[in-house]
Amino acid sequence: MIPEFRLRARTGVLATLASALALTACATTGSAGETGSARSDDKTFAARIESEGVFASTYKAYPGIATALKGATVFDGRGGRIENGVVFFSGGKIVAVGGPDTPIPADIAVFDGTGKFVTPGIIDIHSHLGDYPSPGVDAHSDGNEATSPTTPEVWAEHSIWPQDPGFTRALANGGITALQILPGSANLMGGRSVTLKNVPGRTMQQMKFPGAPHGFKMACGENPKRVYGSRGRMPSTRMGNLAVNRDTWFDAIDYANDQASGKGVKRDLGKETLVGVLKGEILVHNHCYRADEMALVMDMAKEMGYKVTAFHHAVEAYKIGDLLRANDVCSAIWADWYGFKMESYDGIMENAAYLHQAGACVVIHSDDQDDIQRLNQEARKAQKAGLRLGIDISDATVIQWITFNAAKAMGIEAMTGSLEPGKMADVVLWNGDPLSVYSRPEKVWIDGALMFDALDPKRRPVSDFELGQPGEGDVK
């Protein structure tokens, strides 16, 4: 009811988990045999290794028809803008993007986009849909394994409830076609994230983005030290945060070296995640608000030999745009959140514009089941804050913040995030300028399949949870 309610609720969630400490889940070893031993035979047993496919995506694109959108203003997601453009997709892929003379075959579906806009599908790099689903009851609180400050062994995809109605709102109101679901920030090392296609599924695997790398969620600052310090255990300070992180990395490096030298190391889920980070196969997404802490984390990454892909929340990124550019680290940020906790006290609306000016990578994110429905509007706020100071950032670049830049930081930019031939036909047709408060998605295609149509009441998803409830199938 009051803004802090929701924040308090998150805190409350943590407190509830704290009382469940007795149930500490520390079974990281399992009985999985030895890394590299390929198959079971009569005498030995071996779990599959990741490269053989575990919890593999079963996502398949739904049927679509060859479609051309003509006459709209097109933002291609790479900073390009085409007036009176043509976007043609077929077989689930973008075939052609260009001006009014772009050739398209006869006998395909053609939508008149006059007065409308086309963008790539919007991508949210920071969401908890599915692992903190609606309704937000305690029984659904599956986003923080807050029983140990380092839980690199947990995977967010194992918490996801595909029936979260939030996915449907993100699609219909936000044009979201792909999103990264992260563990929460109670822990220094929260676990692996997963990237989803925003297509309803009966199982998580049906939503899992094929070929997307895992991410690794880390958190610095107030949350870990508060959660664990309040229980009288390490870390209770920021220096404790760094110490626990560094010791954990040392162990992971030893594990990786033992593995590489052919020693028969016992499989360890957490270490496998950390080794994946060291090898560059898993991308680090680090929740971090303060500039000084981001600088420390970047030095820690250098010490250990891994790379931070993106700082999330990063409300003070504007203070170190030069450092972030030099280290090639993206900042995934809100437009206007500030002041709700001490480390957010210096949040300003100019954050994105200052980062852009410094040549650093900008991504606008939500971390919120409501804001994910309006990433386009949040991006506009950030753009306008810059414009007021004479930092003129084009609309097409601003769209890139919520499409290609997000895809790049999630490691899926070769597949989606922009309207380029050969890429997935993840496309939004907006009923007006997507950077205006007055515009909404009219149609959303994912891999060329029409998954939402504002003009067709049946072409919108309704989760199992909402069947038979008041407002089933309502516009929402």
Q: Which residues bind other proteins (CB under 8 A)?
A: 1-5, 7, 11, 134-137, 165-166, 169, 173, 222, 318-322, 336-342, 344-350, 354, 358, 369-371, 373-374, 377, 380-381, 383-385, 388-389, 431-432, 435-440, 454-455, 457, 465-466, 469-471, 474-476
Least spacing, CB of residue 2 vs other proteins, in Å = 5
Least spacing, CB of residue 322 vs other proteins, in Å = 5
Least spacing, CB of residue 329 vs other proteins, in Å = 16
Least spacing, CB of residue 174 vs other proteins, in Å = 11
Least spacing, CB of residue 10 vs other proteins, in Å = 10
Measured from the CB atom, is 316 or 447 closer to other proteins? Answer: 316
Q: Let me know: does 448 contact 68? Beta carbons within 8 Å.
A: no
Measured from the CB atom, is 117 or 354 closer to other proteins? Answer: 354
DSSP 9-59: HHHHHHHHHHTTGGG-----STT--BTT-----SS---PPPGGG-SS----
Q: Let me know: does 143 contact 127? Beta carbons within 8 Å.
A: no
Please name the residue ranges forming H helices in 98-195. Answer: 165-174
Measured from the CB atom, is 12 or 105 closer to other proteins? Answer: 12
194 secondary structure, DSSP code: E
Please name the residue ranges forming H helices in 222-374. Answer: 222-229, 238-260, 269-278, 291-304, 321-326, 351-357
Measured from the CB atom, is 106 or 475 closer to other proteins? Answer: 475
Output phi, psi for 97, to 5 deg. Answer: -135, 125
What angle separates helix 222-229 from helix 238-260, to the nearest 10 degrees? 100
Which amino acid is residue 44, in one-letter code?
T
Least spacing, CB of residue 350 vs other proteins, in Å = 5
Which amino acid is residue 276, in one-letter code?
G
Unique residue bearing structure tokens 């997935």:
424
Measured from the CB atom, is 102 or 439 closer to other proteins? Answer: 439
Measured from the CB atom, is 132 or 404 closer to other proteins? Answer: 132
